[in-house]
Each structure stands twice: as C-alpha cells, then as structure tokens.
Structure 1
Amino acid sequence: MKKMIILVALGSALLASAATASAEGCLKGALVGDVAGHYAGHHAVVGAVGGCVVGRHLAKEKRKQADAQALAQQQAQLPPTDAR
C-alpha cells in the first residue's frame, strides 16, 4: 500500500512537470481563443484549442529570437582574434 502511494505521487509529479514544461504560451492563447470563439458563434472549445496552438507557436518563435539575440551578444563580447 505504501509502495503504491509513493508510485502514484511520483507519477503525478512527473506528469505535472511535463505539463508545465510544454504549456508555454498555450494558456494565454487558449484564453484569448476561448473568448474569441465564444463571440464568433459559441465555438469556445474550438477557439481555445486554436488559441493554444497559436500561442504555443508564438512562444516558440519568441524563445528562438531571444536565444539568437543572446548568442549574438555573447559573440559580440568575445575579444577579437589576431588573424596572421
């Protein structure tokens, strides 16, 4: 019984960490899509799913741009090499 409780707790913790890692941008997009879908003919669920997909895509693009900018700043701070 004690082993089962530990396994359930561990499984829940793993699922919770995986869900939060992949939800970047989805929650905000789903909220906006839900409201837009509701006003566009009572399609709130469809709007929420679409908003989640779009929000996730935009968050990935934003992260990609931030990573590229950080890499450019790191390269700009490197001392110049003496090419002889």
Structure 2
Amino acid sequence: MRFTILPALAVAIGLGATALPASAKEGGCVKDGAVGAVAGHFVGKGHAVAGAAAGCAVGAHRRNEAEKRDQQQQQNAQPQARSH
C-alpha cells in the first residue's frame, strides 16, 4: 500500500508546486530540485537524486539570470543625473 501512495503523493506535490502562483523570484535550487527529483523518480530507480541535482543546477542558473535581469531593470529605471 505504501508503494502505491508514495508515487501518487510525489506527483501531487510536484504538480501542486507548479500550479502555485509565481513567486517574486524565479527558479531556485529547492523548487526546481524537487521537480527534478520527482521526474527522476519516474525515469527509473536511483534517478531521483540525479534529477534533483540537475533541477537544482537549472534552478540556480534561472535564479541568477532573473536577478541579473532585475538588477539591470532597476538601473535603467533610475533617473539619469544631468550635468550642466
């Protein structure tokens, strides 16, 4: 019984995480790592850890790109100082 409930629970958690409204920050190791772990679990035995590691790497990259983009937008939004 435990083996039939755990995969269904993992899918529900994975889908629930993707169905939540977007947070203020994109990506992240924990969120994408969890999705990768669930995906790796369904690929085959022992792939959950590899999926979590890959998801974490992708999430960290996405977070860094989002932070760079946000920083660039903030710099562009600041008024330019005029020199007379």
TM-score range relative to shorter protein: 0.5 to 0.7
Give the SS at the match of 2:62.
helix
Deviations 1:62-83 (A, max 9, x none): 0000000000111xx234434x
Letter in structure 2 aligned against 1:34? A
Counterpart residue number, 1:48: 52
2:70 partner SS = helix
Write the distance in 2 (CA, Å) between the matches of 1:66 and 1:40: 35
User: Displacement, 1:29?
Assistant: 1.2
> How many Å separate the matches in 2 of 1:40 and 1:81?
61
Could you list the runs of 5+ residues in structure 1 that have no partner in the other structure? 1-23
Higher percent of residues as helix? 1
| 2:77 is aligned with 1:73 | yes
**d(CA) in 2 for partners of 1:68 and 1:56?**
18
Larger radius of gyration: 1
What is the aligned-residue RMSD (CA, Å)? Answer: 1.6
What letter corresponds to residue 66 of structure 1 in structure 2?
D
Q: TM-score, normalization: structure 1?
A: 0.61
* Percentage identity across paired residues of the two chains: 42
Aligned partner of 2:29 in structure 1 is: 26
Which stretches in structure 2 are left out of the alignment for 5+ residues? 1-26
Question: 1:41 is matched by which residue type in structure 2?
Answer: G
